Amino acid sequence: MIEVRNVKKWIQNGSRRVEILKGITLSIPAGQFVAIVGASGSGKSTLLGLLAGLDTPSSGEIWLDGTPIHNLAEGELAAVRGRKIGFVFQSYQLISTLTALENVLLPFELNVEGNGLKKARGLLDAVGLGERMEHYPVQLSGGEQQRVALARAFVVDPPIVMADEPTGNLDSANGRLVLDLLLERNAHAGATLVLVTHDAEIANRADRKIVLRDGMVVEDSLPTARPIAVQEAELETNG
């Protein structure tokens, strides 16, 4: 689903080149839940932004579901993002002048033909906001805004969902709820989930943990905890 081939990212500061990513190569199969972790400044958010097509690499290749995105023009890149990726930001990034329902509907209206109203309503119901659809972001708590952002990320049924510290601004209860909703999407809809986090507990619930340090992958492993989808399957099997 995601192929990264010797990707580097740097910025030029006068005569000095600051290297952020120093040659990342990895492959993420469809349906996998991957946690990207590392200290601040390790390059994890930069890597996620490149995977999502929000930025372009300085060199190297990135392929999403068979499409090379590293050399696409912005219009083509936006079309790929709209069809293939649901992105969840730490700071929600809701449009303040739109209601919760309108925020969720927007990606559907931009990328899919037909009427997405029923689907948007169903997603807001699914994240526990059935009574808050006509509220504006300023009228919602942080946890509610992030759940609107989740519904918005899911509305076009993207094969890939990416999240940058999606629980970072939330209390523990709301953080667990948001994580559970993401994992449910991963387990039951088969979406590939790539999540950047500082939280070791979240990383240990992933199928796979990738650790960055100084712009390089220093660990790529299976966490010690069993993946949540496997846990649920085992519970069902054991009755």
Tens digits of pLDDT across the chain (239 residues): 899 999 999 998 888 999 999 999 999 999 999 999 999 999 999 999 999 999 999 999 999 988 999 988 888 888 899 889 999 998 999 999 999 999 999 999 998 888 999 999 999 999 999 999 999 999 999 999 999 999 999 999 999 999 999 988 888 888 889 899 899 888 888 899 999 998 888 888 899 999 999 999 999 987 654 444 444 444 444 44
User: Residue 27's beta-bridge partner residues?
Assistant: 3
Give the helix/strand (H/E) hosting 185. Answer: helix 172-188
Q: What is the pLDDT of residue 71?
A: 87
Residue 7 phi, psi dihedral angles, 5° rounding: -80, 130
Q: What is the dihedral of CA 156, 66, 38, 195, to 10 degrees?
A: 20
Return all residues near 100 (Cβ < 8 A) that are at least 6 apart: 94, 124, 129, 132, 133, 134, 135, 136, 137, 140, 144, 148
Q: Rounded to a whole number, what is the largest CA-CA distance in the chain?
A: 64
Residue 11's nearest CA partner among 46, 49, 63 is 46
32 CB burial (10 A radius; 0-12, 13-18, 19+) = middle
Q: What is the pLDDT of residue 120?
A: 95
Residue 177's nearest CA partner among 140, 217, 142, 209 is 142
Residue 89's nearest CA partner among 105, 103, 75 is 103
**Nearest-angstrom CA–CA distance, 77 and 56:** 10
User: Is residue 133 within 8 Å of 101, Cβ to Cβ?
Assistant: yes
User: Residue 162's beta-bridge partner residues?
Assistant: 87, 194
Give the helix/strand (H/E) hosting 13. Answer: strand 2-13
**Nearest-angstrom CA–CA distance, 26 and 209:** 12
Say which DSSP state 158 is in: -
The pTM score is: 0.85
Q: What is the pLDDT of residue 213?
A: 95
Residue-range domains of the chain with CATH: 30-53+85-238 (3.40.50.300)
Alpha carbon separation from 114 to 111, 117, 118, 163 (Å, rounded)? 10, 9, 11, 27
